Structure 1
Amino acid sequence: MTSWVASSAASTCSPMGSVYPKRSTAYPKSDVQINLKDHYNSKVYTSSSPISGDVSITTRREVRFDSIQILLLGQTRTSFEGMSVPQEVTHTFLKMMMPIPESTYPVPRVLESGQTYTIPFNFVVPNQLTINACNHARLSDQLQDHHVLLPPSVGGWQRDDMAPNMARVEYSVKVRVLRDDGNRKTRIMEGSQAVQILPATPEEPPLNVTDKDKLYRMSKTKTLRKNILSTKLGRVTAEAIQPSAAILSPDGRRVMSHPMASVKLTFDPESGRTLPPTITGVTAKLTAHTYYSSGTISSFPNLGEWNTPYLLDRRGQFFTSTPLPPITLAQQPAWTPTVTPPISRRDSGYGSDQPSSSCEDNNYSSSKLPMLKSSSPTTTSSTSPSTQHTTTLTIPLSLPTDKKTLLPTFHSCIASRVYTVHLALALNTRGASSTVSLVVPLQIAVDSTSTTSPSTSPLSAGGPVVVAAPPSFEEAAADEHLRPRVLHAYEYEAPEGQAAAERGSWMLRAGEGAQEEEAGGNGGLPEYGEAGYRRRVD
């Protein structure tokens, strides 16, 4: 139960021993302090972290009030420069109120002058928001799943978080002393204490990047030449695969899972004597893209077009890059040659002067067939074999957490943050140098402690037993499709006294007839109407 603790304020004494009060003004300034437990300036809170402490209220005059609120607020602010005055939009996505029982308020509800009142509080950072936090129109339900996740604090970090001043996400503990004036409540006193939050975020599946997503470039093909006027040496194609997410520690100061970029290189030489290119260097840089809007965002800003025409809302985009540590190759990757056999095509037979074998068997003449005139009915076309060289390059990505505050990837109602990695591969072929550049998406997430534990079986006395998860519907369908099916064929043997001409030869397509015979059947030949039998005439 919440309790109030009142204590006397310190007085000022003169050297002569007489007590003199502080010089008062018309409206003496009151003091509202928020004391967080185990808090320091660089402390980072994450999901399920407790935020507890107490509030101290000291007044210099008697103050009548009706209620006191202690809140944990989360707000997103976006601002735009206008022609006359700047425009600022605030979206409150989190509002948690600490309940204060009515019985704990002083009677009468007056804060006496010179008294200090202490109110304890305790909050827990939620794992996600309520559905009502995002109730605007959306183009997909998947977007709402992102909007109901807590965004990280943007701005206010000790290190650069690569964010502009036009987009801010702030968390704070606020105290408000309210008085009811008719139909509205007036704030008499207010105090605030900012906190920095990095919520735990799950790893998302890879993006489905299409040609409309101009932010990314997953593949690039380039023709290799010594110079502009020289002949072609070949063509190299680089295809990148989205790396796995970079998992940060809950405080964001170290990387727990380092991402690895994978690039597949394919080289098509113009002649068989041209060797594959040599990779002379790899450079990478990390770019943070921050999107912000004056209105709600109905689609993913990094996919498709962001600044589309005829929009009523004002939108902005800010990006900044930081180079990643140099990447050195211990050895050159091995190229694997692949020889493509020549492709030959034979004439279909239509229009041939000689009838086909199928026509001869069915006593058809060639004059009765539709004819397509061809100057060379038996001509075959072929292409020369070609050789391709392929290799896969694995590139480790080291994130600069010692210099930057890397915020996790997030999408909220009016602000978003995504990351891209720009890869530049320097190639050399017979003295010709060229560079192939790719832009791949990178997700940054914050680690969350798993609360799941292995299932225990009451039949086991040796400890917990991990129970395997049941197969999915796709796995069950694949197992059923690939399950081997064996069909047994049985040869029917007639009794010895029966003539061969009479008994003929019979074959079972299933084992049902043989089982009936073993069970004491009539031993005679099956009738034509019985299922599972087919007569073969000798």
Structure 2
Amino acid sequence: MRRILHDLKPSYEHSKSYVEFSLPSSQHDLPCIYQTGDQIKGDIFFKPCRDIILRNVCITFEGITKATIWEPNIETRTGCPCTTQRFMRLNQPVDEPLLSEGMVLEPGRTYRLPFLFVVPSGLLPQACQHPCEHTEIKCHHLNLPPSLGLGFYPNPKGKNRFSSSLEPDTASIAYAIRFTAIEVKRETNLPITSVDRAHKIHVLPKLPEMPPILIPGDNTTYQLSKVIAVKQLNREKLGRLTATASQPKAIQLGQIHSRPMQPTPTMLAINFEFLSVNHNRSPPKPKKIQSKLNAVTHFGIEPYEDLPDRIQQRYLYPRHRSFCRNITLSSPDIISVHWVKQCSEMDGTASGENKNVVYTASISLPIVLPENVVYTPTFFSCLVSRTYSLRVDAFFNKVPFMSKVSLTIPIQICSDIASEQN
């Protein structure tokens, strides 16, 4: 099934020529999502409003990143500092005799221009020419980034509604099919742009799971282990509670050409250790666990030389910013923790009556993401990146207080799935 998609506003308002893009629609009459290796096939219908002495016609498939930083002390007369990078530009040869150089296009006549592009698997080396800390950063920046901030994400609960997105208005990655017609000005015989129109499309490249990240010792973004003291009302110490977790398996996006696009759940394992100061003290009882997904969009008006979630960018990189949105995840109603007594150690007192007792336990927490949100895969590009983390708060009852231990664990969202479009 095909449909005519209206073009965006023309870049040159003096041109009122008719231009429309014809692209296939998805199964649910929504904009298609194109993945690595998918064909972007369609037609452009061009009807000039007057005689045009044609110089050339150009059809391109482009990718553009835009990042803006708002800061009162660096705002310029022309507005906030902004950087735009065209990281990809693929040209479509136009093999149409009626649209060759020197031809006169007639007003009111419709010209059809077919086009065919294939979503590439990566970018050319010239797309990332700035210095990087090491080759891994360069490899990340040469991966094809996903669309970000397009504003037309489909809502799986209704084909005429749209889902909420997780990125700010100040960062975007857009792909578009662009049509440009250059004519020769009769009076000056100089070339001018007669028509410049573009139609945005949604690109979701295949981004497989990356190895678990190595977190530097001075990193404050993630916290995989936390130790808290459990005390009584009189501040007498009952013991020490330690929670530890590791990065879970990545969340995989569902079939992108079907609705709903439900992410596959994953499991998070959390290990607990309670060191009691006295063998008569039992470990605390679990009360509840709360979890949320932190979606962080990193963006800047200067290229990143390192991965943004590994650095303290606010101080080291003042021209970079991070924008975080939180999604509350469902939690189990009943938390069952089975404490296992591991060992007993003398506490060093003369009598030897008191012993430090160690208890261990572990839980598996299912991580299920809501369906009504658009999730961009984890990626890193020169100006814009997206990372995710899990914030887990575990509450334990120990009269008269409730103790809380919190962890922040990195997690990936991937899109390494088979396409249904081919």
TM-score where L is the length of structure 2? 0.84
Q: Which residue of 2 aligns with 1:531?
A: none
Q: Does 1:308 align with 2:315?
A: yes
How far apart are the structure 1 equivalents of 2:184 and 2:322?
43
Q: Which residue of 1 aligns with 2:253?
A: 248
Are the aligned partners of 1:201 and 1:445 in contact in 2 as well (CA < 8 Å)? Answer: yes
Q: Which residue of 1 aligns with 2:85?
A: 91
Q: Deviation at 1:107?
A: 7.3
SS at match of 1:115: coil
What is the identity, as a one-letter code, of the residue corresponding to 1:392? S
Which of 15, 18, 25 matches 1:31?
Answer: 18
Are the aligned partners of 1:242 and 1:442 in contact in 2 as well (CA < 8 Å)? Answer: yes
Structure 1 residues 442 and 185 mapped into 2: Cα distance closer, same or farther (>3 Å)? farther
Which of 196, 214, 217 matches 1:211?
Answer: 217
Which of 224, 228, 231 matches 1:225?
Answer: 231
Structure 1 residues 145 and 194 mapped into 2: Cα distance closer, same or farther (>3 Å)? same
Q: Deviation at 1:342?
A: 6.4
Q: Which residue of 1 aligns with 2:392?
A: 423
How far apart are the structure 2 equivalents of 1:113 and 1:256?
50
Q: Deviation at 1:180?
A: 6.4
Aligned residue runs from structure 1 range 489-508, under 5 A: none
Q: Write the deviation string for residues 254-294 of structure 1: whole angstroms up to 9, x where unpaired.
A: 34531211111000001001111111100011111111111
Aligned residue runs from structure 1 range 74-223, under 5 A: 74-81=63-70, 82-86=75-79, 87-101=81-95, 103=97, 105-106=99-100, 108-155=102-149, 156=151, 157=153, 158-179=162-183, 186-223=192-229
Q: Which residue of 2 aligns with 1:61?
A: 50
Q: Write the deviation string for residues 309-368 of structure 1: whole angstroms up to 9, x where unpaired.
A: 4x5x72222111121113233x62221211156699xxxxxxxxxxxxxxxxxxxxxxxx
Q: Deviation at 1:84?
A: 2.6
What is the identity, as a one-letter code, of the residue corresponding to 2:199? Q
Structure 1 residues 272 and 38 mapped into 2: Cα distance closer, same or farther (>3 Å)? same
How far apart are the structure 1 equivalents of 2:347 and 2:355?
8
Structure 1 residues 108 and 209 mapped into 2: Cα distance closer, same or farther (>3 Å)? closer
What is the identity, as a one-letter code, of the residue corresponding to 2:343? V
How far apart are the structure 2 equivalents of 1:425 and 1:108?
73
Are the aligned partners of 1:32 and 1:190 in contact in 2 as well (CA < 8 Å)? Answer: no
Q: Which residue of 2 aligns with 1:294?
A: 301
How far apart are the structure 1 equivalents of 2:345 and 2:69?
62
Aligned residue runs from structure 1 range 336-415, under 5 A: 336-340=340-344, 386-401=356-371, 403-415=372-384
What is the identity, as a one-letter code, of the residue corresponding to 1:334? H
Count residues in correspondence: 382
Q: Which residue of 1 aligns with 2:157?
A: none
- Computed over aligned residues only, the root mean square deviation of the Cα atoms, in angstroms, reads 2.6
Which structure has the bigger radius of gyration? Answer: 1
Are the aligned partners of 1:200 and 1:250 in contact in 2 as well (CA < 8 Å)? Answer: no
Q: Deviation at 1:113?
A: 1.6
SS at match of 1:138: coil
Q: Does 1:269 align with 2:269?
A: no
Are the aligned partners of 1:250 and 1:447 in contact in 2 as well (CA < 8 Å)? Answer: no
Structure 1 residues 147 and 180 mapped into 2: Cα distance closer, same or farther (>3 Å)? farther
SS at match of 2:138: helix
How far apart are the structure 2 equivalents of 1:83 and 1:306?
22
Higher relative contact order by CA 8 Å / sep ≥ 6: 1 or 2? Answer: 2
Are the aligned partners of 1:421 and 1:441 in contact in 2 as well (CA < 8 Å)? Answer: yes
How far apart are the structure 1 equivalents of 2:307 and 2:82?
22
SS at match of 1:418: strand
Are the aligned partners of 2:55 and 2:102 in contact in 1 as well (CA < 8 Å)? Answer: no
How far apart are the structure 2 equivalents of 1:113 and 1:119?
16
What is the identity, as a one-letter code, of the residue corresponding to 2:122? Q
Structure 1 residues 103 and 195 mapped into 2: Cα distance closer, same or farther (>3 Å)? same
How far apart are the structure 2 equivalents of 1:185 and 1:124?
30
SS at match of 1:144: helix
Q: Deviation at 1:383?
A: 11
Give the gaps of 5 or more residues in structure 2. 1-13, 154-161
Q: Deviation at 1:28?
A: 7.3
Q: Which residue of 2 aligns with 1:476?
A: none
How far apart are the structure 2 equivalents of 1:272 and 1:259?
37
Are the aligned partners of 1:282 and 1:423 in contact in 2 as well (CA < 8 Å)? Answer: yes
How far apart are the structure 1 equivalents of 2:89 and 2:144?
12
How far apart are the structure 2 equivalents of 1:210 and 1:179?
57
What is the identity, as a one-letter code, of the residue corresponding to 2:198? S
What is the identity, as a one-letter code, of the residue corresponding to 1:193? H
Are the aligned partners of 1:296 and 1:413 in contact in 2 as well (CA < 8 Å)? Answer: yes
Q: Which residue of 2 aligns with 1:524?
A: none
SS at match of 1:308: helix
Give the gaps of 5 or more residues in structure 1. 1-26, 345-381, 451-538
Q: Which residue of 2 aligns with 1:439?
A: 408
Q: Does 1:318 align with 2:323?
A: yes
How far apart are the structure 1 equivalents of 2:307 and 2:133?
9
Are the aligned partners of 1:54 and 1:120 in contact in 2 as well (CA < 8 Å)? Answer: yes
What is the identity, as a one-letter code, of the residue corresponding to 1:419? Y
SS at match of 1:195: strand
Which of 237, 258, 280 matches 2:265?
Answer: 258
